[in-house]
Amino acid sequence: MQTILVINSKGGSGKTTLATNIASYFAGSQRKTALMDYDPQGSSLHWLQLRSTKAAAIHAADAAVQKGKRMRSLQMYVPEDTGILVIDAPAGVDGVLLQEMVKKADYILVPVAPSMIDIHATADFIRDLLLKGGINKQQTRIAVVANRVRKSMPVYRPLERFLQVLSLPFLTRISDSDQYILAAEQGTGIFEMDAALVATERKEFEPILDWLDPQADRQDGRPENVVDFGRLCSGA
């Protein structure tokens, strides 16, 4: 099983957006996929509930620590034949919970929004992750993605500088796009939507897939045999 952790202690950086789109990509590529939500807000699990029964199946695993409850093991269950496990982390996570998630991860993806506040918080988070996260560097790969980059401001100098000083790979810039909001509302992802509407989003997302899934044969940034969820919904 390949485990992909999407994490940043900064709230609203795009963890759930990346986690759900990655899960929908792999599920659409005929990979047995599970999405594990550590966030008590349950955004990823909510997205799964919105998902059409006709769309490629994604197993839901609830790993959130709810107030007053300690037992998590049953809801955390992931089927044995799962090929891809995507973990959506909550904001503000540290300590034992951070280590628990990091220990599971083969890949750690850190989304960062282009604002001074987000960049500072993310720099602190990455430092904590490297120092206290318990990463086994030989096994775990870490990369950064800029998210919600505005078209009017494609280059943001503080972000450029931040990414330059990191000795971690910077994979791509994801634009601020209504398509991600639509996908979130429909329980789908950009690789399941009408290709003509999401060509830019797919192109920007592709470096993430190249990093996670280098062997895949992607035509036009789209996995083969994927269900066209947009068409399914519109009945075309």
Contacts to Mg ion by CB under 5 A: 15-16, 43
d(CA 216, CA 143): 19
Cβ-Cβ contacts under 8 Å for 114 (sequence gap 6 or more): 146, 148, 149, 150, 153, 156, 158, 159
- Binding window for ligand ATP (CB under 6 A); candidates: 11-19, 54-62, 135-143, 223-231: 11-19
The least distance separating ligand ATP from the CB of residue 92, rounded to whole angstroms, comes to 8
Query: Residue 184 binds which one of ligand ATP, Mg ion, none, with CB within 5 to 8 A depending on kind?
Result: ligand ATP
Which burial class, exposed, middle or buried, applies to 24 when counting CB atoms under 10 A from its CB (0-12, 13-18, 19+)? buried
Site for ligand ATP in 171-190 (CB under 6 A): 174, 176-177, 180-181, 184
The least distance separating Mg ion from the CB of residue 167, rounded to whole angstroms, comes to 27
DSSP state of 89: P
The neighbouring-strand residues paired with 6 are 88, 109
Query: Residue 12 binds which one of Mg ion, ligand ATP, none, with CB within 5 to 8 A depending on kind?
Result: ligand ATP
d(CA 111, CA 95): 20
In 73-128, which ranges are E strands? 84-88, 107-112
Instruction: Using the minimum distance from each CB to ligand ATP, give the nearer residue, 15 or 222.
Output: 15
**Contact mark string toward ligand ATP, 137..156, x via CB under 6 A:** ----------xx--------
Residues in contact with ligand ATP, counted by CB under 6 A, come to a total of 18
d(CA 21, CA 206): 11
Strands 84-88 and 2-6 come out as parallel
Q: Say whether 105 sits in a helix, a strand or coil.
A: coil
The least distance separating ligand ATP from the CB of residue 137, rounded to whole angstroms, comes to 25
- Binding window for ligand ATP (CB under 6 A); candidates: 10-18, 27-35, 133-141, 206-214: 10-18
Which positions lie near ligand ATP, rule CB under 6 A?
11-17, 39, 43, 91, 147-148, 174, 176-177, 180-181, 184
